Amino acid sequence: MVDQSLLIGRQLGNYRMEGLIGHSSSSEVYRGTHVQLHRQAAVKIWHIQLSESEWQTFRREVQILSLLDHPNILRVLDVGREQNVPLMIMEDVANGTLRQRLKDGQRLPLSIVVTYIKQLASALQYIHDHRLAHLNIKPENILLDGQNNVLLSDVRIATIVRHIASKNSQLNMSNIQYMAPEQAMNQPHLTSDQYALAAVAYEWLIGVPPFQGSYNAILEKHRMSPPPSLLDRLPTLPEEVERTLFTALAKDPTQRFPRITDFADALEKASYQKPRARSEHVTNEISPISNAGQKATGTTSQFARSFSSSLRPKMNLTSVTSYGQLCALPEPVMSLDWSADGKQIVAAGEGRTIAIWDIASRQAIKTYQRHRGKVQMVAWGPKEMSKSIASASSEGNIQVWNVNTGTQQASWLEDAPIQYFTWSPDGQFIVSLNIAGNSIKIWDVKTGRLVIQYKSKIQQLQALDWSADGTYIVAASKEGSMQMWFVGTGMDGDREALQREQTRVYQRTAVSNINALDWAPNKKLLAYGGGNNSVDIWNPITGISPVHYDHHTGPIHYVQWSPDGTTIASASADKSVQIWDSAKGKEIYSYRGHTDSVNTVRWSPDGKLLASGSSDRTIHIWSPS
């Protein structure tokens, strides 16, 4: 390794070296700044000197790599040399490599592994389709961008490999733990990339690569030994996942999957299988979404079969205003939403399982099990996205999926569990807030790409909402402050307008610990509630607060305006949902059918019914009429 002090501050080509990003036995990568454009990039410097003929070949190889244009491939920007030392200029990314981000032995959830492998396989298939092979896959060459998508870097450059091999009788193969046996024998195959990717996935799942030991011992194991069982280290892993990985890790290249995307698709399908070690409330679905009402092993509802008999849906008609308990779940109900036609409800309340319930039959007609972390929030899409549901989990994953087929339409990862999200009124975007509570992010639903991230000027954000006309987003904090962003023109297609952040902060509002927000459907009014047991209606444009409602005796967990904007439903830790006049703040009705804190309440689209979810593990359907 070259002494950093000799390079920091020095200009190489058009870039001034600012700091070391990473290094290997044969190269170093520095963060550099273009001396004229002031643009940052990553500058890779090899510890070799090339002859003129080698340089010309190297330059042509890098030119080919610079033409690769894929969202999961790190872009090559330029090539250069200093005193015959080759340089390659690449885009600089925010979050470093997976090797840097993960501690030794750290495991990743299966869902994240599948997400990463799908992205990497797409990039590798793109490379293969251009008649190239990567042949240098290892966690050190897999980076994370600012959206926590993976980027593949360091495609093997033949000139560099040949030069190093000519100077060293035993080529230093730093990726030997992931290298296919035929590649180690200098007979690489396109499926060698598949083998290496499977070896990386193996390590992500259990914390260690398939084979360990000395260089020669690892090489011999790649050639002769089957990989140790994953199930011995991770008994809850679906058996089909192990079979899929072992197919990709076959010694014979012809026994692997024909295409690397076939491997990724098979791994995703295998991840839906039921684990060998089964928990009490895990259902039998083998696809991401299933029709729970279909007969299976003599029962009429797969979802209901996962509950004890004491938890199955019951009717409760003791109140003339109540249509009864829709269902009981194994865990507190934290989030629910109505379909656009008012005939179904989607709910999160059973770990990683999401259920869609039919109101008329009071049956779970579909379940979705694609999340690997606990599902924390669900929301049906608006307008043209009414056939889609967005769901967020404790692993920081937001998924958008088709209600009828379970097909995933978009998925993205944040670097912390999701605290709250909401759709834009037109269904094109989702704005999210994670538990770090210091920024909001707007995502494009069709692509799953980050549109803009706004750093908050207040801390501990924990709730947000998007105004009905799409003009404003407001987020509220634990201390009772709020921040509002104007995004109207940006949502109309002027994306550059989003870069010119327009925001306003409201310090210490009338409510402490704000955890419930809702914009009125037809006017610039905001209802918000929290820790001081009250709800305020407020016009953030004028600063006028016309109504204060304080009939609850516990903290407010959720508020929602009725579709016509005349009334508000507020759910509280006092076990009640109260319906009150939004103009006068006068109570109309108080529903007390729950036996524990009410966490969420939602009006049906026609405004005639309400659905409430509680820590008593039930969802109730009722009407205030």
Structural tokens at position 601: 């309440």
The predicted pLDDT at position 297 comes to 34
Cα angle 448, 393, 445 (rounded to 5 degrees) comes to: 20
Cα angle 35, 39, 45 (rounded to 5 degrees) comes to: 75
Question: How would residue 273 be classed by pLDDT, with cut points 50, 70 and 90?
Answer: confident
The predicted pLDDT at position 166 comes to 67
Say what the pTM is. Answer: 0.60
Residue with tokens 């389709």: 129
Query: In this model, does residue 590 exceed pLDDT 80?
Result: yes
How many angstroms separate the CA atoms of 118 and 114, rounded? Answer: 6
Structural tokens at position 566: 């005349």
Question: How would residue 496 be classed by pLDDT, with cut points 50, 70 and 90?
Answer: low
Residue with tokens 């999926």: 401
The predicted pLDDT at position 493 comes to 58
- Kindly report, residue by residue over 366-405, the tens digit of the pLDDT: 989 888 788 999 999 998 899 999 999 888 889 999 998 8
Nearest to 387 by CA among 419, 429, 339: 339
How many angstroms separate the CA atoms of 279 and 508, rounded? Answer: 45
The predicted pLDDT at position 402 comes to 92
The predicted pLDDT at position 125 comes to 95
Q: What is the mean pLDDT of the chain?
A: 84
Structural tokens at position 35: 């001396």
How many angstroms separate the CA atoms of 474 and 518, rounded? Answer: 9
* Contact (Cβ atoms closer than 8 angstroms) between residue 22 and residue 28: yes
The predicted pLDDT at position 282 comes to 34
SS3 readout for 135-204: CCCCHHHEEECCCCCEEECCCCCHHHHHHHHHHCCCCCCCCHHHCCHHHHCCCCCCCHHHHHHHHHHHHH
- Kindly report, residue by residue over 26-73, the tens digit of the pLDDT: 788 898 999 888 888 999 998 888 889 889 988 888 888 989 999 899
Residue with tokens 């088709």: 402
* Contact (Cβ atoms closer than 8 angstroms) between residue 517 and residue 557: no
Domains of the chain from N-terminus onward: 1-92 (3.30.200.20), 95-164+176-272 (1.10.510.10), 325-455 (2.130.10.10), 456-624 (2.130.10.10)
The predicted pLDDT at position 272 comes to 77
* Contact (Cβ atoms closer than 8 angstroms) between residue 312 and residue 326: no
More confident of the two residues 140 and 303:
140
The predicted pLDDT at position 253 comes to 94
* Contact (Cβ atoms closer than 8 angstroms) between residue 64 and residue 155: no
How many angstroms separate the CA atoms of 382 and 387, rounded? Answer: 9
Share above pLDDT 90 across residues of the chain, in percent, rounded to a whole number? 44
Structural tokens at position 91: 């885009």
* Range of weakest confidence among 94-103, 139-148, 514-523: 94-103
Provide mean pLDDT across the span 478-483: 89
* Contact (Cβ atoms closer than 8 angstroms) between residue 503 and residue 483: yes
How many angstroms separate the CA atoms of 41 and 64, rounded? Answer: 19
The predicted pLDDT at position 562 comes to 95
How many angstroms separate the CA atoms of 408 and 390, rounded? Answer: 10
CA distances 513 to 434, 461, 476, 540, 615, Å, are 16, 10, 8, 18, 20
What letter represents residue 200's amino acid? V
How many angstroms separate the CA atoms of 6 and 481, rounded? Answer: 49
Nearest to 301 by CA among 348, 352, 359, 367: 367
Residue 624, SS3 per DSSP? coil
How many CA atoms are closer than 13 Å to the CA of 522, on its beta-carbon side? 7
Question: How would residue 544 be classed by pLDDT, with cut points 50, 70 and 90?
Answer: confident
Provide mean pLDDT across the span 296-319: 32
Residue 310, SS3 per DSSP? helix
How many angstroms separate the CA atoms of 159 and 146, rounded? Answer: 32
Residue 364, SS3 per DSSP? strand
Structural tokens at position 599: 């966490």
Nearest to 569 by CA among 594, 540, 598, 531: 598
* Contact (Cβ atoms closer than 8 angstroms) between residue 119 and residue 408: no
Question: How would residue 492 be classed by pLDDT, with cut points 50, 70 and 90?
Answer: low
Provide mean pLDDT across the span 507-525: 84
Based on C-alpha coordinates, what's the Rg of the chain? 28
Question: How would residue 309 be classed by pLDDT, with cut points 50, 70 and 90?
Answer: very low
* Contact (Cβ atoms closer than 8 angstroms) between residue 339 and residue 345: yes
The predicted pLDDT at position 407 comes to 85
* Contact (Cβ atoms closer than 8 angstroms) between residue 100 and residue 86: no
How many angstroms separate the CA atoms of 27 and 44, rounded? Answer: 7
How many angstroms separate the CA atoms of 342 and 328, rounded? Answer: 20
Structural tokens at position 616: 């008593």
Q: Which stretches of 374-527 are DSSP H helices?
A: 488-491, 495-499
Provide mean pLDDT across the span 195-220: 93
Instruction: Work out the number of other CB atoms within 10 angstroms of the CB of residue 13.
Output: 16
* Contact (Cβ atoms closer than 8 angstroms) between residue 72 and residue 151: yes
- Kindly report, residue by residue over 555-575, the tens digit of the pLDDT: 999 999 999 999 999 999 999
More confident of the two residues 517 and 494:
517
How many angstroms separate the CA atoms of 62 and 130, rounded? Answer: 14
**460 backbone φψ class: left, alpha, beta (φ>0; ψ -120 to 50):** left
Instruction: Work out the number of other CB atoms within 10 angstroms of the CB of residue 14.
Output: 17
* Range of weakest confidence among 307-311, 350-354, 605-609, 618-622: 307-311
How many angstroms separate the CA atoms of 564 and 403, rounded? Answer: 27
Query: In this model, does residue 204 exceed pLDDT 90?
Result: yes
Query: In this model, does residue 547 exceed pLDDT 50?
Result: yes
